[in-house]
């Protein structure tokens, strides 16, 4: 009965009813129905629904829905819906070619006092490896009470060599059982383990992978750096199973070091198929070096389609023409 009342109200343009029912639908994994409801509500004059609609569309993984999401984000910003700048900036940060736009939106949101934007802006800079710029925003986020930012703050401090501050925040993350706390502890110990000989980076990595499949990739990288190739291969394959696209390239490099070139090329092809431009770049070089010149142009074109830089593409074409 309640759903029927909410639906009728939403279809007449009651934005609050539309948001309430859409929230229920999303909780039950009925996103498509939630999208249709919010579209109809907006069409009927419903106010305040643009941001919720954009947020649902933005995580769909569908290119057309993502384009529509941006349109609704713009509407939400124009309507002044709280959180719209932050969410729009976070959405654009997912696209490499929109990083400048994402930064400006997140800066605008943070400067307007949106405390969620503090952390998102700090994480944006962290992802961009702009650690000095990340730190003040991550600290501001923590000061605003967002303890989930602790692992990211610790990571920035590790990267800038501030082991004392990093350890303080690693401990707080562990005590609060924050997501990725074990992983950031492992990464801390990789760099500053000599300060804590009683603790084991490997043990922390294993705790991390038990809690989150995304940790297989950094664990594999650590195992590879430690010269434990067989174990690293296993972890890279597990990372791939969990959707880590970059693991194909790292696994290919490991297989090449193990003198398994055909398997390495197969992983590069898999990485390219998964959308990794660097896998395509490396595959072009591998094919050229193995005498398979005729296959190189198609791979270079694929690298270009996947977003390979103009400079890198020119170097690949120069390399190819040198083979003729």
Structure tokens at 191: 């760099």
The model's pTM = 0.87
**268 C-beta neighbours (distance < 10 Å), count:** 29
Query: Residue 298: how many CB atoms within 10 A of its CB?
Result: 12
Token pair 């198929």 is at which residue? 273
Alpha carbon distance 174, 168 (integer Å) = 10
- Asked, for residue 16, whether it belongs to a domain, the answer is yes
Is 27 a domain residue?
Answer: yes
- Considering the domain boundaries, does residue 198 fall inside one? no
Tokens 């949106």: give the residue: 114
- Both tokens assigned to 16: 């609050």
Give a yes or no: residue 210 inside a domain: no
Q: Select from 54, 1, 65, 53 the least CA-distant residue to 22.
A: 53
Q: Is residue 250 part of a domain?
A: no
Backbone dihedral region for residue 199 (phi beyond 0: left; psi -120 to 50: alpha; all else: beta): beta
Out of 11, 27, 45, a domain closes at 45
Q: At what angle do helices 50-58 and 15-27 cross, to 10 degrees?
A: 20
Which residue positions in the chain have pLDDT lower than 50? none
**Separation of alpha carbons 167 and 311, rounded Å:** 41
Cα dihedral value 166, 169, 173, 178, nearest 10: -80
Q: Supply 93's token pair.
A: 């940060």
Domain boundary among 140, 173, 200: 140
For the chain, what is the domain count? 2
pLDDT at site 62: 84
- Residue 1, pLDDT score: 67
Residues 241, 237: Cα–Cα separation, whole Å: 6
* Residues 83 and 116 sit within 8 Å (Cβ to Cβ): yes
For 213-259, what is each residue's pLDDT tens digit? 999 999 999 999 999 999 999 999 999 999 999 999 999 999 999 99
Which pLDDT value is given to residue 41? 94
Residue 212 carries which DSSP code? Answer: -
Q: What is the largest CA-CA distance in the chain?
A: 74
Does residue 314 lie within any of the structural domains?
no
Amino acid 154: pLDDT: 98
Please, are residues 236 and 217 in contact by the beta-carbon 8 Å criterion? yes
DSSP state letters, 12-60: TT-HHHHHHHHHHHHHTT-HHHHHHHHHHHHHTT--S-HHHHHHHHHTS
The verdict on residue 40 lying in a domain is: yes
Query: In b/e form, how buried is each residue of 69-93, taking b as 16+ CB within 10 angstroms?
Result: bbebbebbbeeebeebbbbbbbbbb
Angle at 218 between CA 212 and CA 222, to 5 degrees: 135
d(CA 29, CA 41): 19
Question: Could you tell me the residue range of the domain that residue 21 belongs to?
Answer: 1-45
In a domain, 70, yes or no: no
Other Cβ atoms within 10 Å of 243 Cβ, number: 11
pLDDT number for residue 268: 98
């Amino acid at each position: 009965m309640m759903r029927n009342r909410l639906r009728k109200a939403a279809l007449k343009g009651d934005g609050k009813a539309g948001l309430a029912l859409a929230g229920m639908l999303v909780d039950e994994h009925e996103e498509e129905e939630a999208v249709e409801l919010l579209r109809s509500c907006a069409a009927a004059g419903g106010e305040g629904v643009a941001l919720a609609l954009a947020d649902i569309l933005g995580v769909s993984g569908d290119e057309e829905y993502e384009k529509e999401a941006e349109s609704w984000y713009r509407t939400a910003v124009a309507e002044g819906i709280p959180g719209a700048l932050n969410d729009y900036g976070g959405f654009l940060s997912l696209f490499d070619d929109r990083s400048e736009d994402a930064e400006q939106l997140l800066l605008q949101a943070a400067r307007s006092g949106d405390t969620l934007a503090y952390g998102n802006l700090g994480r944006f800079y962290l992802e961009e490896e702009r650690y000095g710029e990340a730190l003040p925003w991550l600290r501001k986020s923590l000061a605003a009470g967002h303890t989930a930012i602790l692992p990211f703050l610790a990571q920035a401090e590790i990267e800038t060599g501030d082991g004392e501050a990093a350890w303080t925040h690693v401990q707080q993350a562990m005590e609060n059982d924050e997501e990725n706390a074990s992983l950031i502890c492992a990464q801390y110990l990789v760099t500053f383990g000599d300060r804590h000989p009683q603790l084991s980076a490997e043990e922390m990595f294993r705790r991390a992978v038990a809690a989150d499949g995304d940790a297989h990739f950094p664990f594999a990288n650590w195992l590879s750096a430690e010269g434990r190739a067989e174990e690293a291969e296993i972890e890279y394959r597990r990372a791939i199973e969990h959707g880590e696209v970059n693991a194909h390239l790292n696994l290919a490099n490991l297989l090449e070091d193990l003198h398994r070139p055909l398997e390495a090329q197969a992983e590069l092809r898999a990485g390219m198929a998964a959308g990794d431009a660097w896998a395509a770049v490396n595959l072009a070089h591998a094919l050229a070096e193995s005498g398979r010149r005729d296959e190189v142009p198609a791979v270079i074109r694929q690298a270009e389609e996947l977003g390979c830089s103009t400079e890198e593409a020119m170097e690949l074409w120069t390399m190819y023409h040198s083979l003729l």
